[in-house]
Amino acid sequence: MRFLFTLSFLIIFSTGMAASGDVPGQGWLNPLLPIPERVALLLEAMTLEEKIQQMGNNAPAIDRLGIKEYNWWNECLHGVARNGRATVFPQAIGMAATFDEALIYEVSSAIGKEARIKFNIAQQLGNYAQYSGLTFWTPNVNIFRDPRWGRGQETYGEDPFLTSRMGVNFVKGLQGDDPRYLQAAACAKHFAVHSGPEKLRHEFDAVCSKQDLYETYLPAFKALVTEANVESVMGAYNRVYGIPACGSEFLLQEVLREDWNFQGHVVSDCGAIEDFHAHHQVTPNPIASAAMALKAGTDLNCGGVYGTHLLTAVEQGLVSEDLVDERLGKLLTTKFKLGFFDPVETLPFNSLDESLVGGEAHTELAYQMAAKSLVLLKNDNQVLPLSTDIKNLYVVGPNATSSEVLLGNYFGLAGRTYNILDGIVSNVSLGTTINYKQGVLMDHPNANPIDWSTGEAKAADACIAVMGISPAMEGEEGEAIASAALGDRPDLGLPQHQVEYLKTIKEGSDNPLIVVLTGGSPFVLPEIAEIADAIIMAWYPGQEGGRAVGDMIFGKFSPSGKLPITFPQSISQLPAYEDYSMKGRTYRYMEEAPLYPFGYGLSYTNFEILDLQLSHKKLKKGAPLRATATLRNSGNFDAENVLQLYISGYQVPFEAPNYSLKGFERIYLKAGEEKTIDFELEADDLSLYNAAGELVQPKGALTITVADQSPHLGKFQQGINALSTQVIIK
């Protein structure tokens, strides 16, 4: 197949060149030449001024060289974003809750296809605007180290292994598997040690130990570079060890280029180079900032510092034109890999049909991702699933009819969306009495004291309350317009007036109260956990989210999502937000019992883990290990579950994680069915980083635990669905 494509490519290209004639001296337009040679030819033809103008995110056209106008800034966190109609998938934190590597690959592949289709049509229209290109600043693989961070919704959660696996598959799907061309270019961001506070990000020095750097903050970036061949890496706003990340030779040269052999290009976060002199104050002026960033390894400046000041830096001898060529060469390489200089008819992605965008196949993917992302946190007395023949159902809550809570941040716009009320109503019998009142506002108490809803809700056979928050209350620095903390969540509770409203509904009523929560970060929920009969974490579930929530509530499928981040019992369990030490953070280092642990999520059926076996009881240092376990669905409901493997009990003379996730597998089992799963562990999986940031494999006993949630402290320790055994490392 590849031979046929290459042969067709040569015939088409040769015919096209014969018809139009080769442009004298423009060998970079010859797709038969190797990309490094084409890059060198194009650089030779450009003036220094032209080169520098191509190193900003909004790069102008150079007609004489066949270079079109191009804006490098594009987003596709959970669907092509900020660029009109596209399929809207669940927010990244929701996708992480699926623990489904294969599904996120399918989703990102669909996003890449939609991106190509939209790009081709935009090019035909002469639309070169921001967000219409193919270089996507996605995914965000920062660790959600503190649940107060408003942008944590963009991540894959608190665990470096889960983040790595979801991120690798997202990048592979987005970039495609063509041997010659990229379907689209992905970007690993924000490199590195970046997770709030939002209001301090332009001036903050994220201080962490070398152990935390290599054990927690860097693994996902390394995986995306070394496994997924991610095309781009974005430098963060903050400083790391006193140096701005976009000007850090340690990060961009020693770690990224030398240790990991990164071959793609580096882009600054937007305005990050200006922060060098304006906020970090590590340089005296923008000329020095431009020189610092270029020398450190930032190829593309999102912002205006390069375009305005880099020429002066060259003229003053702060940097050389040869270094400009080296940095711009990385950007041109990406353009060639995207096919920007090749005949349109030769590109393998240009035959995609525009009906794919928001079409049936991608809509179904959005539904499947939403369905698998839903986490059932509580289900007392198996109140769920509800019968579709329920006689009297009442729905309340500020988010029941909201499309805003489907979207999250960095979103596209779907041709249609299913809100949660729609999904509920579409499931019940035509004979069911069902009513809805909003009842309470989302972010502040009602102005009108008259309450007609709580009494009606109490009288119904069941009440579904769709509560929580929206992207107006959490998100990036400038987007969360209802957040006084610039997008962060200093208080993790539900707004207190929502809590009081739910208490009023439940007071004196024995009828079930089902609470559906929307949001992109954990909630502190002790009062709600006490009074609600069932709690569903729905995240920001995308265009099909309401349909998925309704179908789950009425039992069309069993919930199978797992928490990708710990829900604490109170804010007092968290270290200071500005502290970047991992001590006391996440399930890996937390010493107190959480409300709901990482990896947790209930089902409508019962599962048993049977017969955990290891390939070796004693293992030579450096050798691989296989763990085998059987999962049985011993209940009455066909369902999926996520089997998780954790390592603990490290015997080392330095701080070590309490537990580390090192494998997971999503499994579908019919009632009564069982399946045996193998987990393959390499030496690196049995190792960890010491205080110097060196990977070491400790000798002695290690505990291997297979469970369907993290084996954390507290109430979940008793009766946890888990098996453990030990291996001795010699």
Q: Which of 580, 538, 588, 534 is nearest to 563 (CA)?
A: 538
Cβ contacts of residue 673 below 8 Å, gap of 6+? 632, 633
Tokens 């804010």 belong to which residue? 571
What are 183's two structure tokens? 């379907």
Alpha helix (H) ranges present in 460-572? 496-506, 526-531, 545-553
Among positive and negative, which fits the CA dihedral 509, 510, 516, 521? positive
- Provide the 3-class DSSP secondary structure of residue 458: helix
**Angle 724-568-164 from CA coordinates, rounded to 5°:** 60
Helix runs in 338-449, H state only: 360-373, 404-407, 420-425
Distance of alpha carbon 399 from alpha carbon 516, whole angstroms = 9
Instruction: Please state, in angstroms and as integers, the Cα–Cα distance from residue 539 to each residue in 73, 90, 408, 472, 647, following that order.
Output: 26, 8, 8, 14, 28
Q: Cα–Cα distance between 538 and 462 in angstroms, integer?
A: 19
CA distance 573 to 517: 22
100 as an active site residue: the answer is: no
| Amino acid occupying residue 431 | G
Neighbours of 152 (CB within 10 A): 30
Q: Which of the residues 100, 275, 474, 708 is marked catalytic?
A: 474
Rounded CA separation 98/700 (Å): 34
How many angstroms separate the Cα of 712 from the Cα of each of 539, 582, 593, 658, 662?
Answer: 23, 16, 7, 9, 15
Please tell me the distance from the alpha carbon of residue 283 to that of residue 258, in angstroms, as a whole number: 26
Cα dihedral sign, 705-707-712-715: negative
Cβ–Cβ under 8 Å, residues 232 and 334: yes
Report the alpha-carbon distance of residue 296 to residue 201 in Å, rounded.
20
| Alpha-carbon span 218 to 693, nearest angstrom | 11
Q: Annotated catalytic residue: which of 114, 159, 215, 269?
A: 269
Give residue 12's identity as a one-letter amino acid code: I
At 723, give phi and psi (nearest 5°). -130, 145
Q: Is 269 a catalytic residue?
A: yes
Residue 322 backbone zone (phi > 0: left; psi -120 to 50: alpha; other: beta): alpha
Bond before 653 cis per omega within 30 degrees: no
Residues acting as catalytic residues: 269, 474
